[in-house]
């Protein structure tokens, strides 16, 4: 039976990765998490199969911004795979705390690579973001391996981490696989992110900020867009890459592209409420954030992977789940 070491397993995407492993494989999971504001063990106990499968999960408390002491290594034990997804991810927080993002995302990744180098593993998957590539224009989509052009401290910290992952593959033969993904959503997500924040605001009849570009007359000329993927689709792709990914290769894990107004309207339709939209000129509000992100998913498709859940159905399911579990708002 294979054992996966998963960083950030008490986080939002991490909990869905644990759920994917428990329901779709016979592997065990060892979680490393420091339980910051973004880490919550209730995410794990809320998994439907938790009571039946929890014996396959071990939790090791450690802040990977620090090196791994001997006793923590002993608690971790033998590991077959490492999925490193633990990170600071909130772009707006990175504007005021850039050093924190460097400590967590760069130094933390170095510590994980040192651990992988010491204990050995069959594969080390690094979970990256589309933001390292910077913005796209029009219908452009970034392909794997394009130059990095990060626009904000969060993206810069993730880009720096990728550079160290590449260096450890070249220098020490750590068997790394790179992934880049985009805006994840699903049940149990923090309200700081756009979709649960939008659900909260529509439910409470608050306005929703829609970032856009306007001309001199105040007319909207463009609306911010992202690619959106349900976290279980993302988790499924990571598990798929454990078996099918090639060491040293990069893979984009891609969802569907929609602008933020379209997402707000889809949520409002599910809630049977019309969103109150507050259109904000994008760059005056957030000069370090980008209007459009997009990734090309051809490589994963050619590898044989495709998402199981489509955007419309999974978003509708997420909205209804959150409304039935308002403690997560």
Is 272 part of any domain? no
pLDDT of residue 285: 60
154, 168, 240, 293: the catalytic one is 154
168 in active site: no
Neighbours of 257 (CB within 10 A): 19
pLDDT mean over 103-116: 98
C-alpha span between 311 and 228 (Å, rounded): 7
Which ranges in 173-230 belong to alpha helices (H)? 194-203
Is 175 part of any domain? yes
pLDDT of residue 215: 87
Residue 136 — very low, low, confident or very high, per pLDDT cuts 50/70/90? very high
Q: Using the CB atoms, write b or e for 79-89: b if 16+ within 10 Å.
A: bbbbbbbbbbb
Residue 11 sits at the vertex; the CA angle it makes with 300 and 314, to the nearest 5 degrees, is 55
240 in active site: no
| Structure tokens, 105 | 């995302």
Boundaries of domain holding 19:
3-185+228-255+293-309
For residue 39, pLDDT beyond 90: no
19, 20, 131, 290: the catalytic one is 131
pLDDT of residue 139: 86
C-alpha span between 9 and 11 (Å, rounded): 5
Is 119 part of any domain? yes
Q: Specify the length of the chain in residues.
A: 329
Q: Residue 250: beta bridge partners? A: 178
pLDDT of residue 1: 86
| Structure tokens, 71 | 């006793």
Q: What are the backbone angles phi and psi of residue 222, rounded to the nearest 5°?
A: -160, 150
Distance of CA 96 to the CA centre of its chain: 21
pLDDT of residue 204: 96
State the pTM of this model: 0.95
Domain of residue 48, CATH code: 3.40.50.720
Neighbours of 5 (CB within 10 A): 26
19, 20, 88, 130: the catalytic one is 130
The SS3 assignment for 81 reads strand
pLDDT of residue 287: 64
C-alpha span between 157 and 41 (Å, rounded): 26
C-alpha span between 187 and 236 (Å, rounded): 16
Tens of pLDDT, residue by residue over 212-264, are: 888 888 888 999 999 999 999 999 999 999 999 999 999 999 999 999 999 99
Q: How far is CA 247 from CA 5, 121, 128, 146, in A?
A: 17, 12, 16, 18
Is 240 part of any domain? yes
Tens of pLDDT, residue by residue over 269-315, are: 999 999 999 998 876 666 667 889 999 999 999 999 999 999 999 99
Tens of pLDDT, residue by residue over 49-102, are: 999 999 999 999 999 999 999 999 999 999 999 999 999 998 889 999 999 999
Is 262 part of any domain? no
Is 124 part of any domain? yes
Is 206 part of any domain? no
Strands 81-84 vs 208-214: parallel, antiparallel or unpaired: unpaired
How many domains does the chain contain in total?
Answer: 1
Q: What average pLDDT is seen over the chain? A: 94
Tens of pLDDT, residue by residue over 180-226, are: 999 999 999 998 899 999 999 999 999 999 988 888 888 889 999 99
pLDDT of residue 105: 98
Is 194 part of any domain? no
- DSSP letter, residue 102: I
pLDDT of residue 51: 95
Q: Residue 257: beta bridge partners? A: 227
pLDDT of residue 282: 74
205 in active site: no
pLDDT of residue 37: 85
């Amino acid at each position: 039976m294979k054992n996966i070491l998963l960083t950030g397993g008490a986080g939002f995407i991490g909990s869905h990765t644990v759920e994917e492993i428990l329901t779709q494989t016979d592997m065990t999971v060892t979680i490393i998490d420091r339980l910051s504001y973004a880490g919550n063990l209730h995410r794990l106990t809320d998994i439907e199969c938790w009571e039946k499968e929890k014996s396959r999960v071990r939790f090791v408390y450690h802040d990977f911004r620090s090196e791994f002491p001997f006793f923590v290594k002993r608690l971790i034990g033998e590991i077959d795979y490492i999925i490193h997804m633990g990170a600071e991810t909130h772009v707006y927080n990175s504007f005021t705390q850039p050093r924190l993002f460097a400590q967590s995302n760069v130094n933390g990744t170095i510590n994980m690579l040192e651990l992988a180098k010491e204990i050995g593993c069959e594969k080390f998957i690094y979970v990256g973001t589309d933001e390292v590539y910077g913005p796209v224009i029009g219908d452009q989509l970034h392909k794997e391996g394009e130059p990095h052009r990060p626009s904000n401290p969060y993206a810069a910290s993730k880009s720096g981490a990728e550079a160290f992952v590449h260096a450890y593959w070249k220098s020490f033969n750590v068997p790394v696989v790179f992934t880049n993904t985009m805006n994840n959503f699903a049940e149990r997500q923090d309200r700081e992110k756009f979709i649960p924040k939008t659900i909260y605001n529509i439910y409470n009849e608050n306005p929703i900020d829609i970032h856009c570009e306007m001309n001199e007359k105040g007319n909207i000329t463009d609306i911010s867009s992202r690619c959106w993927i349900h976290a279980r689709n993302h988790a499924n792709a990571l598990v798929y890459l454990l078996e099918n990914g090639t060491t040293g290769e990069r893979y984009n894990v891609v969802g569907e592209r929609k602008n933020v107004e379209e997402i707000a309207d889809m949520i409002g339709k599910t809630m049977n409420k019309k969103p109150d939209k507050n259109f904000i000129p994008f760059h005056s509000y957030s000069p370090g954030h980008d209007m459009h992100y997009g990734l090309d998913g051809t490589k994963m498709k050619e590898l044989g992977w495709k998402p199981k859940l489509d955007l419309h159905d999974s978003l509708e399911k997420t909205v209804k789940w959150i409304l039935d579990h308002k403690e997560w708002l």
